[in-house]
Structure 1
């Protein structure tokens, strides 16, 4: 009788499926020079935003563009800001072929978006916002959630200082001076005057919010949609307790109703 032969064992590695977070860059122009300039400006507002993150280039918005996409220039621009371009999706057959020739993998197209309720009537012109290069963090849940933790700052932030709460909410218990910058992947709470720049949902969390007991910001931004002091705040929120949130692609600034009052350690 012949004994059955056992299959050779392989113990040096295992093969398993994996899901990894990736930054999706929604390309809106085929002009690589314009893209590079806009990306540099966006990153300048939030230094340290990227940390060798893998990047997916989404071509859906330029799929019908007659001009070719210079993938070599796009990849060079992205790599210059500490990202690792790895794949493309949503392009025409010619665009996808060119991307593969540039060493990028082809990723499945994004699933169709669910129907949403009609957007509310736009508010006053003062609420108009501008979307720069759209950079969103893809997640595997429908509703973005706050990061696993909270960073607490209890000292005043002077002009030129920056705090970034990666993967977390940020709580500041002292004044954020003009020229200072607070950034969080989740929400930002400032229990003191907010006079500098506040960037919440830095990696695409559209559910993130900004709260302050005294809103006097130089700039506020949520998931890439921002507003500067070039547009004056309404009297009902200027220098008062207020919150900043997104509604569709509109940045809304609203008074806080019955805010909790604390005695922050403020330095003028």
Structure 2
């Protein structure tokens, strides 16, 4: 082999680290048909919610005794996920036969992957409230979606790849979702999910903060954990704070 050919081969590729945003599908059942129906319902309510997103199949909530059952239906599960726009690339929490079967189907063992779970929400700062400027948001390809009518129970709005602006009340039982920020110039009494695809810089703003659920990049809080009195029913914002104890939502009043 000549020196020139050796040099050409050495320039064929480089090995570099890379970041990839992944979706985690946390399974709570081995019933593949039930999973298929649930995904179909979500796709009907939010068309295009999944667009070839790489996904980790997390089986950590499945009983060990059910692993053998799931392994029998793993091929069907992967087929269902692909049909609904998800691209399974890894499995988390699998053991024994299920893990071997998953690897044989081309899935990577992602046992060390960190999946965001529900965490306690930090209380609002007790010092005199100050306005916290929003950090630069991740670039969004579209302008904001604007909704100018009240949202009733059972209605859902998803602003894919952009911010969402709601000019009317979001009633209990309604749900607003955005890949970017959510601005509600009225009462928020339903669910608000910002940074739906992992944008940790997203925020939620509401003129009257009374939510059933608030979530940013998968970290959420429900109404079972009541908001402090200085933000409940008041103009407030929600943002994600990362610290030594993990990611927490902070809720701050918005003062003139």
TM-score by length of 2: 0.61
**Corresponding residue for 1:59?**
59
CA distance in 1, matches of 2:249, 2:205: 12
CA distance in 2, matches of 1:105, 1:161: 33
**Partner SS for 1:7:** helix
Which sections of structure 2, spanning at least 5 residues, go unmatched? 123-135
**Deviation for aligned residue 1:227:** 5.2
CA contact 2:200–2:240 (8 Å) conserved in 1: yes
**Corresponding residue for 1:91?**
94
**Corresponding residue for 1:49?**
49
CA distance in 1, matches of 2:253, 2:221: 23
**Deviation for aligned residue 1:61:** 3.4
**Corresponding residue for 1:7?**
5
**Counterparts in 2 of 1:1-268, with a 5 A limit?**
5-7=3-5, 9=8, 14-17=13-16, 19=18, 20-43=20-43, 46-62=46-62, 64-68=64-68, 69=70, 70-101=73-104, 103-110=105-112, 146-149=137-140, 151-153=143-145, 156-157=148-149, 162-166=157-161, 170=163, 172=165, 174-175=167-168, 182-194=176-188, 198-204=192-198, 208-215=202-209, 220-222=214-216, 223=218, 225=220, 240-243=234-237, 257-260=253-256
| C-alpha RMSD of matched pairs (Å) | 4.8
TM-score by length of 1: 0.59
CA distance in 1, matches of 2:160, 2:21: 18
Which sections of structure 1, spanning at least 5 residues, go unmatched? 122-144, 261-268
CA distance in 2, matches of 1:59, 1:212: 36
* More displaced stretch, 218-227 vs 41-50: 218-227
**Partner SS for 1:199:** strand
**Deviation for aligned residue 1:71:** 0.8
**Partner SS for 2:54:** strand
CA contact 1:175–1:194 (8 Å) conserved in 2: no
CA distance in 2, matches of 1:198, 1:120: 15
